[in-house]
Amino acid sequence: MSADVNVNTHAGAPRDRYAVVGNPVAHSKSPYIHARFAAQTGEPVEYTHLLAPVDGFVPHVRAFIEAGGRGMNVTVPFKLEAHALADHLSPRAAAAGAVNTLSFREDGIHGDNTDGVGLVRDIEVNLGVSLKGARILLLGAGGAARGVVLPMLDRLPQTLTIVNRTPTKAEELVAQFAAAAREASCELTGGSARAIEPRAYDVIVNATAGSLDAALPECDDAAFGAGTLAYDMMYSAQPTVFMRHAEALGARAADGLGMLVEQAAESFYIWRGVRPDGAPVLAELRAMMKAPAA
C-alpha cells in the first residue's frame, strides 16, 4: 500500500489538516509516517510539510490555524518558539523546555513533547528492554537529553547517570529533575565522564549530536557489555559511529529511527485519541532506507 493512499473509511469526506513545520523540512519523514497511521486507523487525516522562514514561525502557525489546521509537529529550529507560543503546556513539555507537538483547540494552543515517550516506547516495546530497575547512562545534557529524562524516570529505573562534556549542564539537569527522581526512587547523578561507573550499564543513550560529525561522545569502554543496549538518538542508513563502537565492545546497538516513529505515534494519539501501531511503519521505513537508490 502506498503512502498516499486515501482513507477509504472516509472516502469523499473532508480530512483534518496537520503538518510538520521546520526549516529545513523537506527531508522530514513525518508526512509518510502519518499517512501510514491514517491508513492503518481509518482516521481522516491530511498531513503535509510546512516550510517556515527562520524569523516567521508564529505568523505561519497562525495562518495554518486560520486555514483550519488542527495540529502540528515542530522540528528544528522552532521547538523553543513553539514552547513560548503555547497557551497550555503538558508536564513533559514544561520539563523539556521545548515543544514538538501543537494541538489547536477551542481553549487555545496546547504544547506537548513526545520525544521522550517515543524513546521509551521504542526501547521497551520495539526493542524489548524494560527500563524498570535498569541502570541507565545518558550521554549529553542538551535539549535532546532534557526531553527524555522525565519519561525515563517515569519507568522507575534504579539509577540514571547524566554526563556531559560541560559538567555543569549535566549537574543542572540533575537539579532540575531531583524531585521527580525521588518520586521514582531513582538515584540520579551527573557531571563529567568521571561520573561513569567502570562496569556495564543496562542502557546507554547517546543524546549528543556527535554522530552527525562521526564523533564519539566521552564514555568509559567498561560501560558497555554483552547485556547493554547502546541507543543512538540519531539515525541513518548505516550504523552510526557510536553504534559501531558499542558493537565492537560486545553491546547491542540501536538507532533512533524507532524513536522517530513512536514519537509520531504519540502525537497522533494526542490529536486523534487513537494509538497507531508503530512497528509495521518502522519496518517499512527500515526497508526503504536499505533499498538501493533507483
- Shared domain check, 206 and 108: no
Residue 2 counted as domain residue: no
Pairing of strands 108-112, 101-105: antiparallel
Residue 240 counted as domain residue: yes
Q: Is 100 annotated as a binding residue?
A: yes
Q: How many CB atoms are closer than 10 A to CB 5?
A: 11
- Shared domain check, 145 and 32: no
Written as nine digits, the cell of 39 is 491508513
Q: Is the pLDDT of residue 11 over 90?
A: no
Q: Is 243 annotated as a binding residue?
A: no
Residue 1 counted as domain residue: no
- Shared domain check, 142 and 108: no
Q: Is the pLDDT of residue 10 over 60?
A: no
> Which residue is catalytic, options 79, 121, 252, 272?
79
Residue 13 counted as domain residue: yes
For residue 290, the model assigns a pLDDT of 83
- Shared domain check, 248 and 122: yes
- Shared domain check, 81 and 187: no
- Shared domain check, 203 and 94: no
For residue 269, the model assigns a pLDDT of 98
Share of the chain above pLDDT 70, in %: 95
For residue 293, the model assigns a pLDDT of 57
Residue 177 counted as domain residue: yes
Report CA dihedral (266, 271, 273, 275) to the nearest 10 degrees.
-30
Where would I find the H helices in 233-273?
241-248, 257-272
Instruction: Please give the residue range of the domain that contains residue 93.
Output: 8-113+259-290
Average pLDDT of the chain, as a whole number:
94
Residue 79 annotated to the active site: yes
Share of the chain above pLDDT 90, in %: 90
DSSP classification of residue 138? E
Q: Is 75 annotated as a binding residue?
A: yes
Domain count, the chain: 2
For residue 9, the model assigns a pLDDT of 42
Residue 192 counted as domain residue: yes
The model's pLDDT over 69-127, given as tens digits with 9 standing for 90+, comes to 999 999 999 999 999 999 999 999 999 999 999 999 999 999 999 999 999 999 999 99
Q: Is 165 annotated as a binding residue?
A: yes
For residue 4, the model assigns a pLDDT of 37
Q: Is the pLDDT of residue 32 over 90?
A: yes
CATH assignment at residue 39: 3.40.50.10860
Q: Is 259 annotated as a binding residue?
A: no
Residue 25 counted as domain residue: yes
Q: How many CB atoms are closer than 10 A to CB 143?
A: 16
- Shared domain check, 192 and 159: yes
- Shared domain check, 192 and 82: no
Q: Is the pLDDT of residue 8 over 60?
A: no
Q: Is the pLDDT of residue 2 over 50?
A: no
Written as nine digits, the cell of 58 is 508564529
For residue 196, the model assigns a pLDDT of 97
For residue 12, the model assigns a pLDDT of 62
For residues 18-36, one letter each, b for 16 or more C-beta atoms within 10 angstroms of the residue's C-beta and e for the rest, the string is bbbbbbebeebbbbbbbbb
- Shared domain check, 248 and 127: yes
- Higher pLDDT, residue 135 or 9: 135
- Shared domain check, 83 and 121: no
Q: Is 167 annotated as a binding residue?
A: yes
CATH assignment at residue 239: 3.40.50.720
Q: Is the pLDDT of residue 221 over 50?
A: yes
Instruction: Note the pTM of the prediction, 2 decimals.
Output: 0.92
Q: Is 244 annotated as a binding residue?
A: no
- Shared domain check, 141 and 13: no
- Shared domain check, 242 and 224: yes
Q: Is 18 annotated as a binding residue?
A: no
